[in-house]
Amino acid sequence: MRTVIAGGHGKIALRLEELLAGRGDDVAGLIRDPAQADDLAAAGAQAVVCDLESASVDEVAAHLDGADAAVFAAGAGPGSGAARKETVDRDAAIRFADAAERAGVRRFVVVSAMRVDQQPPADMDPVFAAYLRAKGAADADVRARDGLDWTILRPGRLTDDAPTGHVRLEGSTGRAEVPRADVAAVLLALLDEPRTAGMTLELISGGTPVAEAVAAAAAGGGAG
C-alpha cells in the first residue's frame, strides 16, 4: 500500500511513517522545509517538498497519484497566529481533500481535535478559538464529500509518553490524554479497516488493545 501523509514531519506523522515503512508499505510525507527530509528518510518515508498553503490542487494531486490512502496530519502548530490556523488547519486540509478526489484516492484519514464542532466560549484564547473553528470547518468539508472514504480521528490531549497499546476509541470519549505513539498506531489500524469510513471517532488512552478498539468501532460499538 502507498500512503501519502500531509504534515509529514509532525510527531504523529513520523511515528506513522515508521509503522507503515516497518511493515513494508510505501509511504511519502509532504513537508515544507527540505531540511526535514533526513528525518523522514530515517523513518523510512519518502520526503516530498510541497507547501500546502501555496500549492495548487493539481500540484498536490500529482503527489497523490498512485496512492492508496491519504492522511492529513498537518497543522500550523504552536506559536502560529489565527491567520495560519485558517490557511493550514482549514484551507490546506480542504485543498488536500480536493487533491485526493482529483487523484482518485478514496481512503482519506484526518487527524483532527476534540470540541471542534462546538462554538468556542467567549473567554477562550482567541488563537485557540480560531484553531478549533478552522478544524471544525475542515472536518465539515470532508464529511460532506461523497468522493472520499473518510475517517476523522479526534485525539485527546497529546503527550510524548511511551505507547501503551491500549486506547478508548468511540464517537464520544470525554477529554483525557493519549500518547502520540498510540495515535499513530490507531491511524495505522484505521487505514486497514475500511468499515470505519464515514466515522468521526474520539481517542484517549484506555483499556482496550488498539486492534480490538478499532474493530469494535468499525462494528459500531466503540471500545474503551
Contact yes or no for 177/159 (Cβ under 8 A): yes
Residue 105 grid coordinates: 484516492
Q: Which of 12, 131, 132, 218 is catalytic?
A: 131
Strand partners of residue 203:
155, 169
**Cα 209 from Cα 224, distance rounded (Å):** 9
**pTM score over 0.75:** yes
Q: How many CB atoms lie within 10 A of CB 158?
A: 16
Radius of gyration for the alpha carbons in the chain, expressed in angstroms and rounded: 16
Report the candidate in 39, 38, 64 with the shortest Cα–Cα distance to residue 50. 64
**pLDDT per position in the chain (224 positions), as tens?**
999 999 999 999 999 999 999 999 999 999 999 999 999 999 999 999 999 999 999 999 999 999 999 999 999 888 899 999 999 999 999 999 999 999 999 999 999 999 999 999 999 999 999 999 999 999 999 999 999 999 999 999 999 999 999 999 999 999 999 999 999 999 999 999 999 999 999 999 999 999 999 999 999 866 55
User: Are 174 and 137 spatial neighbours (Cβ–Cβ below 8 Å)?
Assistant: no
- Whether 73 is a known active-site residue: answer no
DSSP state, 169?
E
78-100 core/surface letters (b: 16 or more CB in 10 A; e: else): eebebebbbbbbbbbbbbbbbbb
Buried b / exposed e along 29-50 (16+ C-beta atoms within 10 A): bbbbeeebbebbeebbbbbbeb
Give the per-residue pLDDT at 221.
63
State phi, psi for 193 to the nearest 5 degrees.
-120, 90
Q: What is the pLDDT, as a whole number, of residue 223?
A: 58
Q: Which helix (H) or strand (E) holds 71?
A: strand 69-72
